[in-house]
Amino acid sequence: MTPREIVAAAIEFRTPERLPIRFGSLGLDDTFCVGPGCASGWSPSREGEDEWGCLWERPAPETGVVNMGQPRGHTLTDYAMMADWPWPDPHDPARYAHLDEALAHAGDKYVLIGCGFTFFERMHYLRSMENLFVDLYESPDQVHELAERVLAFPIGVAQEVGRRFRGLIHGFAMTDDWGTQKQCFLRLDMWREFFKDRYRRLYDAIHQADMHAWMHSCGYVNDIIGEWMDVGLDVVNLQQPRALGIEEIGRRYRGGICFESLCDIQRTLPFGTEDEIREEAALLLREWGTPEGGFVLGDYGDGRAIGVPDDRKQIMLRAFCELAAPELLDGLN
């Protein structure tokens, strides 16, 4: 099997010949990632502004900290502004002009196109999380309109990818963090009212473009995983498996969705012993994977942000390979 075939087989429970791995930081990756570019002629009008008009605060260079920062300027201060807001156009050809050249380097890997801060995250980046939570109760009609306007972008990107690159891009990667450490941000009935069918429409657009739908979500999303499965999610990326409960998630969802995960980035990976890292790798494969597939080992790219040097990542990567991809061991440091 090629790397592309291995990843696809794991997602579709068609018995890949080994564990698929996304560990580019250590030189081992079955995937190749691309992303849409900016619209033609766009440039920020203020420092830290993104294409949606949100303002980002990033660490000062002298701190030595490098990360994406946080959205601090929530500029959609009034819903009346939506009518004239410069909503990004997903159909602008300039967004895709660079992809032919990028895809020429993909080889036989599984290609993912990323569309981060996909839906809920973009809504609260625009409005602020506090305001959005109040609005769900006090201004539901306006929240529904905002949701439709935001959702139009990832749906449009999926449509354009299907039209321009069908068969060359295989997965559509999204991000929407949905929980605190202990619970979802919303009651499940409210989540269903505002979000469930919209995720269905997004995943439908992705599938119509012949791609798998991948969703990253941090926090306690134990119940939402089932909701995503109902509407067609193919891969869920979970990086805090201990917070969710490895056995619970396996009991509820094993065999019904493909998991992309790794040893817990808050507990085991930064603080566990070598034996604890190996034990958790085995537990994840046993509880979340199946003999037919359903598990992808994924890296957390910014090791410094979670206090994990490369040597600890190497311990984890070797543990997973010993269990589920022994043919790759000779290539590891």
% of the chain residues with pLDDT over 90:
92
- 177 phi and psi angles, rounded to 5 deg: -75, 135
Q: Please, which residues have CB within 8 angstroms of residue 48's CB and are 6 or more apart in sequence?
A: 55, 56, 57, 58, 69, 73
Residue 54 domain-assigned? no
User: 216 vs 330, which has greater pLDDT?
Assistant: 216
CA 228 vs. chain centroid, Å, equals 13
Kindly report, residue by residue over 177-196, the tens digit of the pLDDT.
Answer: 999 999 999 999 999 999 99
Q: For 70-74, 107-111, 282-286, 300-304, which range has the lowest pLDDT when averaged over its residues?
A: 300-304
Number of compact structural domains in the chain: 1
**Token duo for residue 164:** 């321009």
Instruction: Kindly report the pTM of this predicted structure.
Output: 0.97
Averaged pLDDT, 276-286: 98
The pLDDT value given to residue 74: 92
* 226 pLDDT tier (thresholds 50, 70, 90): very high
Residue 49 domain-assigned? no
Mark residue 155 as left, alpha or beta (left: phi above 0; alpha: psi -120 to 50; beta: remaining): alpha
Cα 193 from Cα 224, distance rounded (Å): 13
The pLDDT value given to residue 301: 80
Domain CATH for 175: 3.20.20.210
Cα 106 from Cα 169, distance rounded (Å): 10
Residue 253 domain-assigned? yes
Residue 183 domain-assigned? yes
- Domain of residue 318, residue span: 3-34+74-331
* Confidence check: pLDDT of 302 > 90: no
User: 111 vs 25, which has greater pLDDT?
Assistant: 111
Residue 65 domain-assigned? no
Cα 21 from Cα 39, distance rounded (Å): 32
Residue 60 domain-assigned? no
Residue 109 domain-assigned? yes
Report the Cα–Cα distance between both ends of the chain, in Å, rounded.
Answer: 24
The pLDDT value given to residue 63: 77
3-state secondary structure string across 106-135:
CCCCEEEEEECCCCHHHHHHHHCHHHHHHH
The pLDDT value given to residue 280: 98
Sheet with 212-216, strands from edge to edge, namely: 28-29, 21-23, 295-298, 258-261, 235-238, 212-216, 171-175, 110-115, 31-34
Residue 283 domain-assigned? yes
* Confidence check: pLDDT of 210 > 80: yes
Kindly report, residue by residue over 57-87, the tens digit of the pLDDT.
Answer: 988 877 777 677 899 889 999 999 999 999 9
- 51 phi and psi angles, rounded to 5 deg: -70, -15
Residue written as token pair 């490098």: 66
Averaged pLDDT, 116-124: 97
Kindly report, residue by residue over 31-60, the tens digit of the pLDDT.
Answer: 999 999 999 999 999 999 999 999 999 888
**Residue 84 DSSP one-character state:** G
Crossing angle of helices 129-138 and 140-165, in 10° steps, is 120
Residue written as token pair 């040597």: 311
* Confidence check: pLDDT of 304 > 90: no
- 57 phi and psi angles, rounded to 5 deg: -105, 120
Q: What is the DSSP string of 209-259?
A: TT-EEEEE--S--HHHHHHHHHTT--EEEES-HHHH-HHHHHHHHTTTSEE
